[in-house]
Chain A
Amino acid sequence: NAGVTQTPKFRVLKTGQSMTLLCAQDMNHEYMYWYRQDPGMGLRLIHYSVGEGTTAKGEVPDGYNVSRLKKQNFLLGLESAAPSQTSVYFCASSRMGQATSGANVLTFGAGSRLTVL
């Protein structure tokens, strides 16, 4: 009954350091997403994946890279962290894409809070 699991939950980085956030889902979902949430703003899509081995840019992709080598995992990387990347990051997954007409609920992880000093 795990759903979507994100690690780590908290991380503090110095400017210029690199790190990877891991997202794992056990629902056999095809689609996975990385969002960031900043105070007073809605969630903004960073990158997403429509299946194993695929990735695509979202609304705010600059400064981030992603990989989906296995269907159940979606990694978000910061190569050179900047203070502007201080945020809460959410991973989500769904059985189908949001442009389909069938019911397609998003399942979210608990979030990863990143602070860049």
Chain B
Amino acid sequence: KQEVTQIPAALSVPEGENLVLNCSFTDSAIYNLQWFRQDPGKGLTSLLLIQSSQREQTSGRLNASLDKSSGRSTLYIAASQPGDSATYLCAASGSARQLTFGSGTQLTVLP
């Protein structure tokens, strides 16, 4: 059974700092790894999707990497802004043909 872990559960950084969010998964036979953003009281918004054949994906200030052999993915946020404050969730699709979500990292960017 796929298990996805995100550490830390919460993170506070000053505005302008570069930061990395971590995601680990137990089943390396994944089809893709997705990163989502969730604002309080809202649904999830897809940020980046990395196919199993890819090593990374970039969108603006965001860069996500995937290392299947070690069961890890990272989300790099450059020059963080207060508007980046949200909960970030990763999800991996494993052999169960379903997405398994981590519990998220709550990010606060302080002005």
Which A positions have Cβ atoms within 8 angstroms of B?
Answer: 4, 35, 40-45, 48, 58-59, 90, 92, 97-111
* A106 engages B99 (CB within 8 Å): yes
* B46 engages A107 (CB within 8 Å): yes
* A97 engages B97 (CB within 8 Å): yes
C-alpha gap A58/B2 in the complex (Å)? 13
* A42 engages B98 (CB within 8 Å): no
C-alpha gap A99/B99 in the complex (Å)? 9
* A42 engages B53 (CB within 8 Å): no
B49 within 8 A of A: yes
C-alpha gap A59/B3 in the complex (Å)? 12
* A104 engages B101 (CB within 8 Å): no
Considering the complex of A and B, which 3 residue pairs feature the smallest CB-CB distances, nearest first? A42-B101, A98-B93, A108-B43
CB distance from B88 to the nearest CB of A (A): 12
C-alpha gap A99/B97 in the complex (Å)? 5
In the bound complex, residues from chain B placing their C-beta under 8 Å from that of A99 are: 31, 93, 97
C-alpha gap A109/B91 in the complex (Å)? 17
Task: Give me 7 other A-B pairs in contact (C-beta within 8 A), A35-B101, A42-B100 excluded.
Answer: A42-B89, A43-B91, A106-B44, A106-B46, A108-B36, A108-B44, A111-B43
C-alpha gap A105/B100 in the complex (Å)? 14
**Can you identify 12 A-B contacts, CB atoms within 8 angstroms?**
A42-B100, A42-B102, A42-B104, A43-B89, A43-B101, A45-B99, A48-B98, A97-B97, A98-B93, A100-B31, A104-B32, A106-B99
* A41 engages B34 (CB within 8 Å): no
CB within 8 Å for A105 and B99 given contacts A42-B4, A90-B43, A98-B32:
no
B45 within 8 A of A: yes
B28 within 8 A of A: no
Q: Which of A40, A48, A109 contacts B103 (CB 8 A)?
A: A40
* A45 engages B98 (CB within 8 Å): yes
Q: Which of A90, A98, A107 contacts B98 (CB 8 A)?
A: A98
